[in-house]
Structure 1
Amino acid sequence: MARLNQSNLPADVPVPGYGRFDATSWIVHIGPGNFHRAHQGFYLDALRNAGDVEWGMRSVGVRPGDAPRLEALAAQDGLYTIRETATDGTVTHRVSGAIADVNRPGDWEQVLDWLSDPATRIVTLTVTEGGYFADPHTGAFLTGDPAVAAEWKDRVPQTVFGYLVRALARRREAGVEPFTLLSCDNVLANGKAARAALVGFAEAWDKKLAKWIASEVATPSSMVDGITPAAKPSDLAAVAEALGVEDEAVVTCEPFRQWVIEDHFPTGRPRWEDAGVELVSDVTPYEHMKLRMLNAGHQVLGHLGRLAGLEYVHEACLDPDFGGVLELFWRDEAQPVCPPVPVDLVEYCRVLRSRFSNAGIADTVERIVAYASDRIPGFVLPTVADNLRKDGPVEAAALVVAAWAAGLRGVDEQGRELTVVDDRRDELLRIVRHGPDVPLSLLDHPQLSAVGEVQRFRLAFVDAFEALTQHGVRGAARALLSRKESA
């Protein structure tokens, strides 16, 4: 079967109706993963198909693990299929041409050339929560992180922000205005986080450059939403059968997507609003809502379901015990302390429950529990902190943290091995696997200590962990629900 490319577009599905290089203004995106292509790529493709071709996009990967994806996209002229599956099982396909070009793996000069190009007016990021070198409690840039000092020991960039600072230095020297930097990661106030990292890396190299960056570079915040699991071999096979071409860069996702952007782009921007993006003056309320409801909800289902031996998010969501804890967490703990947002939170969570129940996208619990030492502090613990201050309940959140701790021991309740994917894996395993039966010292880890040092949460964690040990995760969930129902 022939490979998807510009000269081999399938019939009977939407395909790009525009040229790849007819743009006059460029976005460089760093992080060519599935979410970026199902989300930012989707919106730009929609704009260009509607006739607005001023803006184009180049996609960049700077980590060794990005190479296979870059090579797959290069072989397909940047084209890829978006396979959407709705909760009712309806499947649709479209071929996106949003990515005009991708960098050659390892060619750091090409990346710097693109970032330094005067026609590059926006740089967008999806580099995950851990990519901003931020203190988990204060959000301040971690100036002492070894990666910061190591960045400037070699002329070859080592980090995303090393690339960005070098490119901005080139632009400043050439008298070219800076690009706008737009974070699209699940980080609260991601624009501020991006600014802190950008200026922090620059200060370690050139303080005058850092001052210029702080004064001249705009870093608006954004909130992104859309569930995008990794494509499986069966998805690639289904696309090949439906389209009649092979595609090694398939993206699978749900039909729902949302993008809310702080409208601050001194260098100009696409008319994203024409494609359904919301441009607002303040993204903060939407960020709180999404991180505390959707992302925290994923942590609830992921850690409970994983410990019980479930493979998929929809299985955990449809399970009366684990779905019940999710509803309890939302209703009693998260919604009452969520900062005000112009959205009906009850209705928002009802829609989330339906989205989480989507069996068609087969979203795995392994995906959403990865990097939990960043995600639990970022998504779950802000709700805990608010409830501790306001004397609100914390038992559901404590059960989630306890389930994470139990999972770090490396086996589920069926005796099957669990793989721990986390940048802090080794230190976490030392705490949990070589300490006392109840790993209370986990709460003393710098990622958790802001709430972990509070006695009421420590007691709730101990109770939850002992319930898991004595009754299993399902028994612990049922006991929690029973106590709340009878209260």
Structure 2
Amino acid sequence: MANYLQASVNAEQLLAQDYQREDITAGVIHLGVGAFHRAHQAVYFDRLLAQPGNQHWGLIGVNIRPQDSQAFDQFVKQQGEYVLKTMAADGVTQYEHIRSIIGQIDGAQAPEEVDKAMAGANIQLVTSTVTEGGYYLDENRALMLDHPAIKGDIEGGRNTLYAFLYAGLKLRSQTSKAKITLLCCDNLRHNGELLETGLMQFLAAKQDSELAQWVEANVSFPCSMVDRITPKPSPQHMQDVQQRFGVADEMTVMGEDFIQWVVEDNFSGEKPALEQVGVQLVNKVDPFEEAKIRILNAGHTCVTYQAALKGLTYFDEAMRDDELQQYFADFVGQDAIPALGESIVDLVPYAKVIGQRFSNSNIGDTVERICSDGYAKFPIFVYPTLEAIYRQGGTPNKTIRGIASWFTFIQLTKQGKLATQYHEPSSQAVAAFTFDEAGIKAFTTDSFLWGNIPTEFPDFVSRLNEEIQTSMAKYS
């Protein structure tokens, strides 16, 4: 790709960090090289590589899903290089040539190559973005041992990140024996703790007590909070980059101009000096994590199904719809912020910034993308506000309305009445939520989604039922 860039007449418009790629060595493995990683963690490491003495923090990007192998093959052809297009709300656009992913391994095709890389003493850090549902933990943080993917991995398969971590750490414990940090970068509350909990249960299921002891002594699992709105890659942005710079980049990724990464300062091996490039290293991630999950992620989730029911295509359109704009303000002001209580984060200005980010029409983030994977999102993003308001003695009316809109969305997509498609990995669980007495009861009392709320606060069941009836009447 570098040769194309050198030939480009517009190369001066394409920013690049000041380092020579041939001087870079790998210090990090990343599992799950999707658009978000390429617009977020890879960008921070790209900046770090330009800092003196940090040339050993290059990334090895690993694909672990067979269904992503075709797209990853193009990434390999581009040697892990691509252009990041950043668009601000005022239309200011910036282009960056990202080169930090110096190695690429398709673990779905060559898993043993991932093991070898993870065993190397040069690798100090393994990061991961495999989506919320990729950790296979139930509401009690128990690993779903009956799930076909987990069962297959316990028997020696390679379906989940646990199988890759198991094999790589096993080889590492037998060869280099070097300490290592596993840093989860997904939108999970206490994500480092959850990764550790899931992995240790996986090792127990594998009956590998020796490796479990080694992990306890040599591996750390810091929590982190990541934030940058990154839409699904679009041909529109690829064409823009190709025409503007004359490069054969088919992996262009686009994101908003806001970027944040907060990491718990808990590293087993060498710690990258990410604070030099804007990462916040803190003792406790919780306040930042809670604010982001309960305002941004929950706001996205509670608004998006209503946007879909209104036939909107892009999320910024929802934030220019008077009804939905008011709903978001009410959800945050009446439910989310009161549920959070005291915080070191200044919540009102923080929520205002999020509202502005949601309104960025240049992002083009689709309602359909945000609607996906609802069954995994509601327990993580929305449930905490629901529970907190009830325990405070209130009624989370706006939250319940958002939940009801999801139920209505499920019904109307089943009936083929919406243009928005529903991509739901947990489709089997959602199939029980039918628009009849049994289906509504299954939805309003689902313990994975709502924990003990339906039994401790029966008003939740009746209020949600009322909102479902209202929503179905409004949009059917």
Which TM bucket (shorter chain)? over 0.9
Question: Residue type of the partner of 1:372?
Answer: G
Compared with structure 1, are the counterparts of its residues 147 and 245 closer, same or farther at alpha carbon in structure 2 (3 Å cutoff)?
Answer: closer
Look up the match of 2:151. 149
The answer to whether the aligner puts 1:87 opposite 2:89 as a matched pair is yes
Aligned counterparts of 2:303 and 2:450: Cα–Cα separation in 1: 23
- Residue in 2 that maps onto 1:458: 461
Corresponding residue for residue 39 of structure 2? 38
Mapped partners of 1:82, 1:321: distance in 2: 34
> Which residue pairs with 1:483 in the alignment?
none
Whole-angstrom distance in 2 between the partners of 1:438 and 1:432: 4
What SS does the corresponding residue of 1:432 show, helix, strand or coil? coil
Contact 1:25–1:121 (8 Å) recurs in 2: no
- Name the TM-score, length of structure 1 as normaliser: 0.91
What SS does the corresponding residue of 2:141 show, helix, strand or coil? coil
Evaluate the alpha carbon distance shift between residue 25 and residue 83 of structure 1 in structure 2; reply closer, same or farther with a 3 A threshold: closer
Pairwise mapping of residues 98-177 of structure 1 onto structure 2 (< 5 A)? Answer: 98-104=100-106, 106-136=109-139, 138-154=140-156, 156-177=157-178
Q: CA deviation at 1:422?
A: 1.3
Alignment correspondent of 1:477:
none
SS at match of 1:7: helix
Q: Which residue of 2 is the match for residue 244 of structure 1?
A: 246
In 1: Cα distance, 2:414 partner to 2:363 partner: 24
- How far apart are residue 440 of structure 1 and its match? 3.0
CA distance in 2, matches of 1:34, 1:17: 23
Deviations 1:123-148 (A, max 9, x none): 00001111112222x33433444433
Q: Provide Cα deviations, 1:219-238, integer angstroms capped at 9, x if missing partner.
A: 00000000000121111111
Alignment of 1:251-400 (within 5 A): 251-338=253-340, 340-400=342-402
Q: What one-letter code is carried by the residue in structure 1 that aligns with 2:292? A: K
Match of 1:468 among 455, 466, 471: 471
Q: Is the 8 A contact 2:26 2:60 kept in 1?
A: no
Q: SS in structure 1 opposite 2:86?
A: strand
Identity level (%): 31
CA contact (8 A) 1:171 1:178 kept: no
Measure, in 2, the Cα distance between the counterparts of 1:152 and 1:414.
39
C-alpha spacing 1:243/1:175, structure 2 compared with 1 (3 Å): closer
Separation in 2, partners of 1:20, 1:452: 56
8 Å contact from structure 2 (residues 306, 405) kept in 1: yes
Aligned partners of 1:410 and 1:419 also within 8 Å: no
Write the distance in 2 (CA, Å) between the matches of 1:340 and 1:181. 30
- Structure 2 residue identity aligned to 1:135: D
Q: Partner letter of residue 200 of structure 2?
A: V
Cα offsets for 1:379-420 (capped at 9, x unmatched): 011100111111123111111111111111134999334422
Kindly indicate whether residue 166 of structure 2 is the aligned counterpart of residue 183 of structure 1. no
1:15 equivalent to 2:16? Answer yes
C-alpha distance in structure 1 between counterparts of 2:390 and 2:461, whole Å = 11
CA contact (8 A) 1:285 1:340 kept: no
Q: 2:410 — aligned with what?
A: 408
Q: Distance in 2 between matches of 1:151 and 1:416?
A: 37
Q: Deviations over 1:89-147 (max 9, x none)?
A: 111111100110111451111111111111111000001111112222x3343344443
Q: Distance in 2 between matches of 1:69 and 1:124?
A: 20
Q: Residue 427 of structure 2 aligns with which residue?
A: 425
- State the TM-score, normalized to the length of structure 2: 0.93
Residues 412 and 176 of structure 1: CA distance in aligned 2, closer, same or farther (over 3 Å): closer
| Counterpart Cα distance in 2 of 1:239 and 1:24 | 28
Q: Give the AA of the match of 1:109.
A: E
> Counterpart amino acid of 2:114?
V
Mapped to 2, the partners of 1:208 and 1:232 lie a distance apart of 46
- Check whether the contact 1:38–1:251 (CA below 8 A) recurs between aligned residues: yes
The answer to whether the Cα contact below 8 Å between 2:26 and 2:102 also exists between their aligned partners in 1 is: no
Moved more, 352-361 or 42-51: 42-51
Q: CA deviation at 1:471?
A: 3.1
In 2, Cα distance between equivalents of 1:342 and 1:127: 29
Query: Deviations for 1:136-161, whole angstroms, at most 9, x for unmatched residues?
Result: 2x33433444433321323x533211
- CA RMSD, 1 decimal: 2.0
| Partners of 1:415 and 1:131 in 2: CA distance | 30
Match of 2:213 in 1: 211
Alpha carbons 1:228, 1:253 under 8 Å: kept: yes
1:64: Cα distance to partner? 1.2
Structure 1: gaps spanning 5 or more residues: 474-487
Kept after mapping to 1: 8 A contact 2:287/2:345: no
The one-letter code matched in structure 2 to 1:219 is: F
1:69 alignment partner, one of 51, 68, 71:
71
